Structure 1
Amino acid sequence: MAVAARILMMRLVILMARMVDVVRSMDTVATPLNSPSPAPAAPNPGIFKVVGQSGVPAMHAGLMPNGRVIFLDKVENYTQIKLPDGQYAYSAEYDPATNTVAGLQYATNAFCSGGAFLADGRWVSLGGNAPLAFIDPTVGDGFTAIRYLNRSSTDASLDGSNWSEPGNKLSTARWYATAQTMPDGTVFVASGSLNGLDPSVPANNNPTYEILNTEGISSGKSIPLKILEKNQPYYMYPFVHLLNNGDLFIFVSKSAEVFNVEGNQTVTALPDLPGDFRTYPNTGGSVLLPLSSANDWAPEIVICGGGAYQDITSPTDPSCGSVQPLSDNPTWAMESMPGGRGMVEATLLPDGTIIWVNGCNQGAQGFGLATASTLEALIYDPTKAVGQRFSTGSSSTIARLYHSCALLLLDGTLMVVGSNPVQMPVLTPVPNQTPSEDYVTEFRVEIYTPPYLQDNAQRPTNVVLSSLSLTANGSPFIVVFNAPTGNTVCKVVLYHGGYVTHSLHMNHRMLFLDNTGYVSGATMQTLTVTMPPNNNVAQPGPYVIYVTCGGVPAIGQFVMVS
């Protein structure tokens, strides 16, 4: 009986979209404010190339301080790796240097968790879903779980070590929660489902937030958050960005606000973003544009894509809105992608552009709920005028739908991985199924080489940092490197990749650091680089330093920021 009940619960999760009142949702559908806008072909479009196999479906991903990528998945009845105990692995460590992968073990089901880096460099996965003992009796309930993973740029003995779960728990169950590391190193954790059932029933939902301390241990209190309460059921996996005054930008559905965590209050209610829904189950992409001292680290946020309701018939939204939430009169500046996209995600690149990949032109998040995969990379240049920022890069041949990820590697290339839009792994298409199994579980790992690494691009080399421990207090450090012959402008970038899942890049940010000492045309360069003024601008944790010359990055190096 227990097995049957668990199967029934999983089916309810799979068909959650059907349980939402689609008719009511369709009443909100309107023609997007912006129609699709052509994006000219990029002069240098970049290249997609398959390089390996992920071992496990890559539902969640993150670049670790050892330069490897961790993939995290839910409990499955098949992966490419078995653990020593004979069970399938649901997490894996991928080495981009060799394109090899090794399985990792965890103790609780990480299905649709959130996560962040702690100030001490550990990566945490937060929340999840119920145990599936009929598939794997060794994995327990993940709804309140906190999982820790430790990797180091200086201690190779940690490579390949399993997830640690000492028993710390969230104060309430959270499936589809967002996490944001705060300036003091605590972690803000918001939203989620209490049981994975119909989100149109408020009793199933968890529209609250809680705080983890710097060690990743919950305060034990879940606090109601009004913007989540009022936007049910389109309230899960909210977009959250840390602003340079220490407040948070929170976006749910179509609504946005500036929220002060310490005072537990909304500081500014922003105008709604025109167009369709933007967060789960019609998630688009959200990115905090590169920060610099040129405008006093003022934040600007771009949100693109989305959809109308949770069904395979849903149209997707081509429009994008950008906003400066701390300006005197924050308003959305609108532009459009060349087509509607759901599940599109944005990754900051070291040259200051943003790459948008993955997603669909029709449908929504959920098992078997998307079709018309969007294969083109879109290159976004925020230095251009609104409406002229998009160009079209090269195309992949692999559909990347529900449960896909993209993230920047140390060599400045983009890893694109995942897509598992089915209840359990499917290796060959099974058409005419409900939910659809036209799209299979995808294990192929792709590398997208951006335009700046093509046409015999010359990297800066022999980069040496005066310290790998840096402080966000305006203090200086030294960078020595060899610049390419004939270089023009060299910059230093501080980069945080964060926790990637479901089109969200939690904690993702990039900063252009002030520097002096550059000698035009010289091969040997010694720069004095100034750190950001405080942890509001760069919260504590692991970052990558990229030196770029003419937009071409050297191989990045991990540092710890305090």
Structure 2
Amino acid sequence: MEAKYAIVFSALIFSLFIIGETATTGSWKLLKKSIGISAMHTQLLPNDRVIMFDRTDFGQSKILLPEESCTDISPDDKIDCSAHSVELNLLDRKVRPLTVFTDTWCSSGSLAPDGMLLQSGGSGTGQRAVRTFRPCANCDWTEDQKGLVVPRWYASNQILPNGKVIVVGGRGQFNYEFIPKSSLPSDFKVFALPFLRETRDAVENNLYPFTHLSTDGNLFIFANTKSILFDYINNRVVRNDYPVMPGGVSRNYPSTGSSVLLPLKLGSINSTIGAVPDAEVFICGGATPNSYISAIKGTFLPAAKSCGRLMITAKEPKWVMEEMPIERVMGDMLLLPTGDVLLINGAKKGAAGWYLGREPVLNPVLYKPESSNFELMQPSKTPRMYHSTAILIADGRVLVGGSNPNSNYNFTEMFPTELSVEVFSPPYLSSGPRPKINLAKLKTEISYKEPISIGFVSKKKEGIENVSVTMVAPSFNTHSFSMNQRMMVLKINQVRQVTRNYHVIDCFAPETPNIAPPGHYLLFVVQNGIPSRGSWMHIS
């Protein structure tokens, strides 16, 4: 065991060494020493509360359910009165235990247009379950054990322009279906998706496929090294000419990399009305196809340093390859309000799976799409390995939790079960005064194409140049993929100075649900690279 801890200590020293004296960017703060469970799945709700859960068969957690909710969900017939899901209130940091019965292990989720968390699949009793959670003061999970037509384990969800959610793939499932179910016959059908069978290799490096809604309304799907553009309405591939991602690296579970759709720029004053913005996908990290089997046998291969950008709307798309400063597998990629990408969590060696990762990557990396620059951030003191999560929250910080590469709650292993949650503050939070949105005069319910006026206070002395407005969709994060993550840079008509420090931005809501599916978004005013606190808006 001493040798194991020596490895962790060495990784900490290495992390500090590679940054040296320049480690001054960003900062960390412990938010909660324990939430009682390990945050394997995480979703921010529009009431600024965070739903987190792991799996129901981990054994006794460190937070108890109310006595009336105590139930037998343990495989060895012992009464498990502990919770496996919690609600974290970001305003007062209180944790409320929630009751979930069906097994949520390696499941998927989306926010419905009304703000309800729609969550699907899992293992065992949860493999066909659809669970819902409404954002209200004392709400709890509602579960339908037959909400899916077929079992879904390691599937991906994506909210669609019509408000429905498509559930893609899962172990042994080369197909898709839609939730929530309605009276439509199509809701109770399973549609074949041969692409998932074609991209599967010996260790299924295509689980949790990366799904991104393109700006034309079709679905971009990436699995292993290949990708397609898919018309889910007519069940047909509309584009299969995307090149294979170079490098010989697998990017999906268990050779787990991560993926984001880069910010959608909705135009300037002179842009054409009705123009469809380009869509570009960015994929980083992962591992060689044999890393999983090699790690099982005790050899932990280096993770990938490579990243790739692909303009999926281009006539002749080509991968533009770049390189991170650190290898990373099981890392998370998050869109920040500024349009930059944060890479966080993960390991330098191994693959996703119990006990299969080595050498934690403690340093987040900030990527600037405009310049293709990577910048190392301050390291955390807590390894976040397999089953860790990260999400953007309304104040512009990143909430980080989880990490449990063990088959149960185990606090003595090399990488113990982690019950804490912390926050990472990007450099923009220490770069000067933030613009402040006038909430009293901000519309919170908007329609497509609608003009929006946003009042904000600025204490910047240099004036009001370099102002933008961004809308960010809250994502469901698990297994290094933030499902439904999306950002729009709104079209600005003008910025008006009303008083010395008070200004009004006249801009426009996104034009179509293909660009911004209906639902809740965090709106930010960004001035000279510093974002305001996010304000919730609902588009329908």
TM-score of the two chains, using structure 2 as the length reference: 0.86
1:331-375 Cα deviation digits (max 9, x unpaired): 100011112210111111111111100001111111111111111
Q: 2:453·2:504 contact (CA, 8 Å) conserved in 1?
A: yes
CA distance in 2, matches of 1:420, 1:160: 28
Deviations along 1:228-258, one digit per CA (max 9) or x if unpaired, are 0112222210000000000111000011111
Alpha-carbon separation, structure 1, partners of 2:181 and 2:428:
37
Residues 171-190 of structure 1 deviation map (CA, whole Å, 9 limit, x = unaligned): 10001110111111111111
User: Deviation of residue 223 (structure 1)?
Assistant: 1.5
Does 2:380 match 1:396?
Answer: yes
Please report how far the alpha carbon of residue 518 of structure 1 lies from its aligned counterpart in structure 2 after TM superposition.
Answer: 1.3
* Aligned pair partner of 1:519 in 496, 508, 512: 496
Q: Take 2:177 and 2:47, find their aligned partners in 1: how far apart are those partners? A: 30
**2-structure distance, mates of 1:483, 1:216:** 51
Out of 444, 447, 468, the position equivalent to 1:491 is 468
The aligned residue for residue 77 of structure 1 is 59
1:422 partner letter: N
Equivalent residues in 2 for 1:129-528 (5 A)?
129-130=123-124, 141-151=125-135, 158-166=136-144, 168-193=146-171, 205-213=172-180, 219-232=187-200, 233-269=204-240, 270-275=242-247, 276-294=249-267, 296-308=276-288, 309-311=291-293, 312=295, 313-384=300-371, 388-429=372-413, 438-472=414-448, 474-486=449-461, 487-488=463-464, 489-519=466-496, 522-528=500-506
Q: Is the 8 A contact 1:115 1:125 kept in 2?
A: yes
Q: Provide the rounded CA distance (Å) in 2 between the counterparts of 1:219 and 1:557.
A: 34
Q: Deviation at 1:314?
A: 3.1
Distance change in 2, residues 1:534/1:450 (3 Å): same
Matched, 1:537 2:519: no
1:457 shift after superposition: 3.4
Distance 2:533 2:380 in 1: 25
Contact 1:148 1:163 in 2 (8 A): yes
Which whole-Å CA distance do the structure 1 matches of 2:508 and 2:20 have between them? Answer: 37
- Structure 1: which amino acid aligns with 2:28? F
Deviations 1:480-537 (A, max 9, x none): 2212232433322111022110000001001111223413694111222201110000
**Whole-Å separation in 2 of the counterparts to 1:149 and 1:365:** 28
| Unaligned ranges ≥5, structure 1 | 1-37, 131-140, 152-157, 194-204, 430-437
CA distance in 1, matches of 2:373, 2:122: 37
Instruction: Give the superposition deviation at 1:74.
Output: 0.2
Structure 2: distance between partners of 1:180 and 1:321 = 22
Residue in structure 1 matched with residue 115 of structure 2 by the alignment: 121
Conserved? CA contact 1:463–1:482, under 8 Å: no
Counterpart among 98, 105, 116 of residue 104 in structure 1: 98
C-alpha distance 291-545 of structure 1, shift in aligned 2 (>3 A): same
Q: Which amino acid aligns with 1:62?
A: Q
Judge which range, 366-375 or 86-95, deviates more.
Answer: 86-95
Aligned to 2:45: 64
CA distance in 1, matches of 2:340, 2:388: 21
Matched letter for residue 234 of structure 2: G
> Does the CA-based 8 Å contact 2:217-2:514 persist in structure 1?
yes
Moved more, 450-459 or 346-355: 450-459
Query: Could you say what secondary structure the match of 2:438 adopts?
Result: strand
Change (3 A) 1:70 1:96: same
**Residue equivalent to 2:35:** 54
Q: Classify the secondary structure of the residue corresponding to 1:165.
A: strand
Q: What amino acid maps onto 1:394 in structure 2?
A: Q
Distance in 1 (CA, whole Å) between partners of 2:458 and 2:322 is 37
| Distance in 1 of aligned mates of 2:331 and 2:162 | 31
Shift of 1:478: 2.1
Match of 1:552 among 524, 530, 540: 530
Deviation at 1:392, TM superposition (A): 0.8
Contact 1:382–1:389 (CA under 8 A) maintained in structure 2: yes
C-alpha contact (below 8 Å) 1:464/1:481 kept by paired residues: no
Q: Unpaired runs of 5+ in structure 2?
A: 1-17, 71-80
1:465 positional shift: 4.7
User: Helix, strand or coil for the counterpart of 1:249?
Assistant: strand
Distance 1:247 1:534, change over 3 A: same
Q: Structure 1 stretch 246-255 or stretch 514-523: which is displaced more?
A: 514-523
What's the C-alpha RMSD, in Å, of the aligned pairs?
2.1
What is the TM-score with the length of structure 1 in the denominator?
Answer: 0.83
Contact 1:306 1:316 (8 Å CA) reproduced: yes
| Deviating more after overlay: 38-47 vs 178-187 | 38-47
Cα deviation, 1:300-347, whole Å, max 9, x if unaligned, reads 111000012314223311100100011010110001111221011111
| Separation in 1, partners of 2:182, 2:450 | 26
Q: State the aligned residue count.
A: 486
The question of whether the paired residues in 2 share the 8 Å contact of 1:124 and 1:216 is answered with: no
Q: Secondary structure at the match of 1:527?
A: strand
Q: CA deviation at 1:462?
A: 3.3
Shift, 1:44, TM fit: 5.4
Contact 1:39–1:390 under 8 Å retained in 2: no
For residues 41 and 500 of structure 1, what CA distance do their matches in structure 2 show? 33
1:443 is matched by which residue type in structure 2? L
1:168 deviation in Å?
A: 4.9
Aligned to 2:196, what secondary structure does the other structure show? helix
Task: Give the drift of 1:213.
Answer: 4.7
Q: In structure 2, the residue corresponding to 1:227 is in which secondary structure?
A: helix
Aligned partner letter, 1:225: L
Distance in 1, matches of 2:183 and 2:259, equals 25
